[in-house]
Chain A
Amino acid sequence: MNVETTDLTRRFGRHQAVAGVDLQAGPGVFGLLGPNGAGKTTLLRMMATVIPPTAGRLRLLGRDPGAYGPRREIRRRLGYLPQNLGYYPGFTVVEFVEYFALLKEMPPARVPAAVAAAVERVDLGDRAKARLRTLSGGMLRRVGIAQAIVNEPELLLLDEPTAGLDPEQRVAFRALLRDLGQRATVVVSTHLVEDVGAACSEVALMDRGKIVFHGTPAELTARGADQGTGDAPLERGYTAVLAAART
C-alpha cells in the first residue's frame, strides 16, 4: 500500500479537521469526495507531508514521514497540487516546472527532458515560454499539474485539480489521471463527482473529518439507487451517503 493511515487526526486549536481517518490506497486513482470543510484538504496536506498529524499513524510509500530521512525520500517521489496554487508571476511555464523539478531533487541531467515532457502532457507546449502572469486560470491549473507530475511521482496528490479547466481539458485530464494511475497512487480530492466516476477506481467520502464511505464508484452509485438527490447516479449516491452519515 502506498498510503496507509490509522486513526489519523489533525486539530487546529480546538477544531478537529481530520478525526481518526483509516485509509489504505494502492496504485490506481483514488477519489476523495466530500462537502466543503469535510477535511479533504487537511488530509491531503498531511499526505503531502506539509503538516504533521496531531495523532494517529501515517505511512506513505512504505515509509514513516515523521522521520526526516524517510520524509525527504517520500518527497522525492511525491507530486502535490494544492487547492490554492500560488505561483511566481515572472517565471515562465518551463522555469516554474523546472524550479519544482529541482526542488524535488531530480537528477539535473534528467530535468530538461522531464520538464518538457510534463509541459507537453498538460498541453502547454505552445505556451512553454510564456510568463505565468499572462496565463488564464485554467492554464495556471495545468501548470500546477505539470509541476506535480514532473518527477513521475509514485504518489500524486491533487486537490481540486479540475477547477478552472474547460470541459475539453477535463476530459483530457481524466485520461491523464487514468494513465498515471497505472503506475502510481493518485489521490484526487474534488467536489466534482463526475471526475470520480470517470477516472477513479476507488473512492472515499469524507464528512466532518471522518471517512463515511469507502468503496468503488459503482458501490457509491448503488447507495443512491433508491434514495438521495441529484441529476447523476453518482451524485445521488453521494447525497444518500452524506444524509445517512448525518442522521
Chain B
Amino acid sequence: MTATVPAAPGPVTRRAAASIPGSGRLLRLELRHNATLWLLPLAVALFWFNGYREIMALPPMWNLRAMTLQNRLLLDLTIPVTAAAAWMGSREGRRNIADLVAGTARPRWARQLTAWAATTAWAEVACLACVGVVYVMTARQASWGGPLWWPAAVSVAGVPALTAVGFAAGAWFPSRFVTPLVTIVAFFGLGFGTQAASGDHSYWQISPLTAGAFDIGAVPGVAAFYHYLPDLSIAQVMFAAGVTLAVLGALGVSAALNGPRLRWLAALIAAVGLAAAGTADALAGTGRLDPHGMIVIPALHDAASDQPVRYTPVCSRTAIPVCVHPAYATFLPNVTSAVGAELTEIAGLPGAPARISQVAEVYQQDPGNAITSLAGVPGGSALILPDQVPGEHGVTSAQFAGDLQDTLGLQLIRDVILGGNASAAARPSQAELAVIAASVRPGSMWLGPSAADVNAPELSGRPLLALSRPAARAARRFAALPAAAKHAWLAQHLAALQAGQISLAQLP
C-alpha cells in the first residue's frame, strides 16, 4: 500500500447534471453482473420447449399465434425471470453487504431501482426475442395479415411486474429460500389465475395470460373478419404497469433511510400504481363478449374497431367456387377436397349456390364460461369453417374434412335435393333420403345394414336419414356412381324426385 496519491481529488461535490451519467454507469455495472443474464438460456429453453413448439405447430395465422403467444410466453418466463429478480433483490442481504451500502449517499431506493432496471432489461430482451422469433416465422408463413401488437404488449408489460414482485420479495426477505418460494408462488398464481374466470364479466380476465374469452380463447375466427379489439389488452397492460408501480413504490416507502421527499414520491407512485391496477381490474370486470369472440370493455372501447376487416377473398376453381378469407387460404385445398364431389354433383342444379363464401362465426356468452357458436347462417352460400383447423391442437386434415362434410356437404346436398321442402315440415321421401345419403360422403357411415339411422343428422326434429332397408340398398347403388353421373341424373330427374315421382327402384 502506498501513502502517496498521484492526483488527490478535492472534496466531493455533487452536480445534478452528473447524476444521470452516474446512474448510467451504475446501470451498466448492474447489467454486466445480473443474474437474469445467466438465466436467459433457461428462459429461452423453457419457451422453446413449452410455448414455441406449440405456437409454431399452429396454422400460420397471426391472430391464432399472437393470442397463443400471450397465453404462453409470460408463464414460460415466470420461473427464470422471477427467480433472477428475487435473487437480485436479496443480494445485499445474502452477501452481507447491507452495512457497506447503507453508508453510501445514493438512496437505497435508487440503488434498488437500478438493480431492478437491469434485471428487467435482460428479462425484456428475452421476452422481445421470443416475440420476435415467433413473429418473424409467422410473417414468413402467413398468407394474410400482419402482427398483432397488443398481445405482445401485454407480455412485455407483464415482465416488469414479475421482476418487481420478485425483486421486492427478495429485498424484503433477503434469504436464499425466498427465491424458490416466490418463484413457485408467482408461477402457480399466474397459471391458476386464468382458471378462476367465470364468464365474460369476470375480474380474473385481468390475468395477462388471458388472451380472449375464456371458452374460445385463440381460435382462427377471432380477429380475422373483425379487427382485434385491444380493450382487454389495454386493461391488462394498465394492470401490469399498476402492479409494477405499486410494488416499486412500496419498496421505496419501506426503505426508512430514503429521506422524506423520496418516501413521499415512493408513496405517491405506489398509490398511483394501486389506483391503476384497481381501475384496470374493475374495467376488466365490465367486459362482455362481443359477437366476434372478443372482449369489449365499454369504457375502453373504440366503436371504429367494430368495422369488419376489408379483404379480398381467395376462391377455388371448382364447379361452384368456394371463397375463403385470405387468412384461411392455406386451408382452401382442404375445403375443396372435402366437398369437391358434392360441388360437382350439384353445380348448376336448381337450389345450388353459384358461389360459397366464408362468413364469420357469431358467438354468444352462456352462463359460466360456456360460449355458444351461433353457426346457423341460412343458405348454402355461406360457409363457416370449423374452429379447429388442421394443425391446431392436433386436428388432422381428415378430421377437418369430416367436419366439413358433416356440415357444408350435407347442407349443400340437402338444400338441392329437398329444394323448397328443406325447411318445411314435409316429410322427405325415401328416394330423396337415399340420394342425400348417397351424395354425402360420410353417408357411408350410416348406409351400413345395422346402423341405418344411427347418429344421423336431424331435419325438422327427425333423423334426416332414417332409411328403410330398400332405401339403404338404393342409396348404396347411387353412391357407387361417379359425381358426374350423379350430376347428369339429377339434372334430368331432380324435379321429379322432389315431386315424389321417383321410386327407389328408379334410382340408378
Contact = CB atoms under 8 A, between A and B. Distances in A.
Given A68-B259, A68-B260, A169-B1, A102 B26 contact: yes
A13 interface: no
Given A82-B100, A86-B95, A91-B33, A105 B14 contact: yes
B6 interface: yes
A113 B10 CA distance: 13
A176 B6 CA distance: 14
Contacts of B29: 91, 95, 98-99, 102
B420 to A, nearest CB: 82
A179 B1 CA distance: 11
B426 interface: no
Given A105-B19, A111-B25, A152-B12, A86 B2 contact: no
B103 interface: yes
Interface in A209-225: none
B5 interface: yes
B7 A105 contact: no
B15 interface: yes
Interface residues of A, number: 58
B97 interface: yes
A78 interface: yes
Main secondary structure, interface of A, reads: helix
A232 interface: no
Interface string A190-228: 000000000000000000000000000000000000000
A99 B18 contact: no
B289 to A, nearest CB: 51
A123 interface: yes
Given A80-B100, A107-B15, A114 B95 contact: no
A151 interface: yes
A122 interface: yes
Interface stretch (A4-12, A19-27, A32-40, A43-51): A43-51
A121 B5 CA distance: 7
Interface stretch (B104-112, B227-235, B296-304, B490-498): B104-112
A117 B1 CA distance: 11
A162 B219 CA distance: 69
- Residue of A68, A111, A147 with most chain B CB atoms under a 10 A cut-off: A68
Given A108-B25, A179-B4, A103 B95 contact: no
Contact of A103 (B5, B24, B33, B101): B101
Contact of B3 (A102, A117, A178): A178
B354 to A, nearest CB: 72
B101 A151 contact: no
Contacts of B5: 117, 121
A90 interface: yes
Q: How large is the interface on B (under 10, 10 to 19, 20 to 34, 35 or more residues)?
A: 35 or more
Interface in B97-153: 97-107, 111
A142 interface: yes
Interface in B323-352: none
B378 interface: no
B96 A84 contact: yes
Main secondary structure, interface of B, reads: loop
A195 B103 CA distance: 25
A227 to B, nearest CB: 36
Nearest to B92: A86
A104 B11 CA distance: 12
Contact of B2 (A80, A82, A103, A172): A172
A221 to B, nearest CB: 25
A87 B106 contact: no
A84 B9 CA distance: 28
Contacts of B32: 95
Contacts of B18: 107-109
Nearest to A125: B2
Nearest to B258: A68
A71 to B, nearest CB: 8
Contacts of A78: 103
Nearest to A169: B1
B288 interface: no
B91 interface: yes
Nearest to A120: B2
A110 interface: yes
Interface in A84-135: 84-88, 90-91, 95, 98-100, 102-111, 113-114, 117, 120-123
A225 B26 CA distance: 54
Nearest to B33: A90
B99 A82 contact: yes
B506 interface: no
Nearest to B13: A107
A87 B26 CA distance: 16
A87 B95 contact: yes
B11 A88 contact: no
A235 interface: no
14 contacts: A45-B99, A48-B103, A75-B103, A76-B12, A76-B105, A77-B11, A88-B97, A95-B29, A103-B26, A106-B22, A113-B9, A117-B5, A172-B1, A175-B3
Interface of B: 1-15, 18-19, 21-22, 24-26, 29, 32-33, 91-92, 95-107, 111, 257-261
Give me the 5 closest cross-chain CB pairs, A-B, nearest first: A86-B97, A86-B96, A68-B259, A179-B3, A103-B104
